[in-house]
């Protein structure tokens, strides 16, 4: 078992039922990034905030310094290079405000995330759809588009998985049916995934 998952289970023993799901999600994300792909993330309400939060942990250093490589350092010079960090590309789809408001007004509010996946998703990328109930209609549409475009799909949801479960190539189903409790579980789960990815790609701890 990965040391980061061991730490997760020490702090949250009830998440042991998700161990294999978390390991599999990590493998999918690691392969995506090793192949030069990117992560797209969507959700509503608190899950929209989670999408933003996840991207923040991946786009810059989390618990590692992530220094730039020698080639970038030579091009940028030490003054700039010393202040920058390596990142893993992660796009929080709820943050595309201009596109979202235009598409909601001109086409269909439920299809905003689907449109963004259509425009941004390429084969080998990953879409992480977050829904505490598993029944978010707009997240479901985004998953359908992702599947059609060869984008890997991961659902982060609650115990039942809801209607989006059959649309996910993989899912992490935390052991609760209460919205606030599911959200409380989601944070340590995605923090663990981000730390596992950081360990693999950058290694050095702060």
Q: Please write the tens of the pLDDT for every residue from 35-84.
A: 999 999 999 999 999 999 999 999 999 999 999 999 999 999 999 999 99
Q: Is residue 88 part of a domain?
A: yes
- Measured between alpha carbons, how far is 149 from 157 in angstroms, rounded to an integer? 22
- Measured between alpha carbons, how far is 44 from 191 in angstroms, rounded to an integer? 19
- Mean per-residue pLDDT, 122-150: 98
Q: Is residue 37 part of a domain?
A: yes
Determine the structural domain holding residue 88 and report its residue range.
Answer: 3-201
Query: What six digits make up the tokens of 101?
Result: 């408001």
CATH number of the domain that residue 132 is part of: 3.40.50.10490
pLDDT beyond 70 at 205? no
Q: Is residue 158 part of a domain?
A: yes
What is the tally of structural domains in the chain? 1
Q: Is residue 206 part of a domain?
A: no
Q: Is residue 134 part of a domain?
A: yes
Q: What is the pTM of this model?
A: 0.96
């Amino acid at each position: 078992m990965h040391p980061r998952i061991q730490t997760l289970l020490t702090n949250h023993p009830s998440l042991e039922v998700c161990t294999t799901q978390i390991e599999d999600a990590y493998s999918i994300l690691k392969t995506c990034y090793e192949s030069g792909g990117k992560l797209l993330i969507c959700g509503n309400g608190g899950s929209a905030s989670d999408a933003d939060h996840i991207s923040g942990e991946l786009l810059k250093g989390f618990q590692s310094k992530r220094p730039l490589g020698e080639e970038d350092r030579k091009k940028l010079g030490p003054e700039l290079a010393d202040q920058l960090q390596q990142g893993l590309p992660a796009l929080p789809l709820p943050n595309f405000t201009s596109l979202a408001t235009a598409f909601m007004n001109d086409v269909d509010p439920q299809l905003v995330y689907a449109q963004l996946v259509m425009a941004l998703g390429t084969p080998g990328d990953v879409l992480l759809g977050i829904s505490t109930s598993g029944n978010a209609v707009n997240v479901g549409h985004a998953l359908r588009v992702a599947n059609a475009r060869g984008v890997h799909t991961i659902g982060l949801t609650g115990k039942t998985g809801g209607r989006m479960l059959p649309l996910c190539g993989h899912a992490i189903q935390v052991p609760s049916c209460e919205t606030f409790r599911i959200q409380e579980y989601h944070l340590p789960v995605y923090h663990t995934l981000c730390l596992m990815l950081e360990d693999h790609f950058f290694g050095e701890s702060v």
